[in-house]
Amino acid sequence: MIQILEGAQRHFRRLIEDQDLPGLGVRLTAEHPGTARADCRLEFCEPSDLAGDEWAIDCDGFTLYVDAASVAFLDGAEIDFVTDSTGGQLAIKAPHLKARTPGEDASLPERLRHLIEVEINPSLASHGGRVALEELRNDGSVVLRFGGGCQGCGMVGTTLREGIERTLRDRFPEITAVLDATDHASGTAPYYRG
């Protein structure tokens, strides 16, 4: 269920009335859902812009259309208009946009991927890097592959041991080792040359 609070409805209604286009609505789309880069996009849409599979939410004076592929990531979202000293701005809270937290019954690879995407990759992104789960071996060892600014970075060993491995083993005691399968010699833009 997506909630569009009265302040946001009033804001959109005023903007739509200014456009004076019959049937004009607002479309909500999740961009890059399930990743650390996830974001929401709101845009005006005319009936001819719609694909026909959107979810329609009737609001006071207009319709909010939710992109069908975005629905699972926007479930529980709340849209509001927050006033401040500059007039105000829209605020969207979408707790499942980046990724739904896997339940306790989720597999270890699912929980590892979620932790990597939500907690580890945002830190690495500040240096232009990223890491992905390559393999989870039967002996409990995790194999990772680095990319971007981490591939070829002279500090990747420290990042792996002191940051990533420590985090993974603290959260998942069944992990026995964290290994790096990256060919660091082929990195083209390392963050730090060692």
Which helix (DSSP H) or strand (DSSP E) does residue 109 occupy? Answer: helix 108-115
What is the reported pLDDT for 84? 82
What is the reported pLDDT for 48? 93
Cβ within 8 Å of residue 185, ≥6 positions away: 152
Beta strands 3-4 and 78-82 are: parallel
Q: Could you read off the pLDDT of 81-112 as tens digits, one per residue?
A: 998 888 889 999 998 888 667 778 889 998 89
Class of domain 108-186: alpha beta
DSSP 3-19: EE-HHHHHHHHHHHHHH
* In the chain, domain spans: 3-93, 108-186
Rounded Cα distance between 92 and 56, Å, is 18
Q: Which residues of the chain have pLDDT under 50?
A: none
State percent of the chain over pLDDT 90: 49
What is the reported pLDDT for 167? 94
What is the reported pLDDT for 133? 92
Asked if residue 44 lies in contact with residue 24, where contact means CB atoms within 8 angstroms, the answer is: yes
Q: Could you read off the pLDDT of 23-45 as tens digits, one per residue?
A: 999 999 999 887 767 899 999 99
Nearest to 71 by CA among 118, 41, 28: 28
Question: Considering the domain 3-93 in this protein, what is its CATH number?
Answer: 2.60.300.12
What is the reported pLDDT for 100? 67
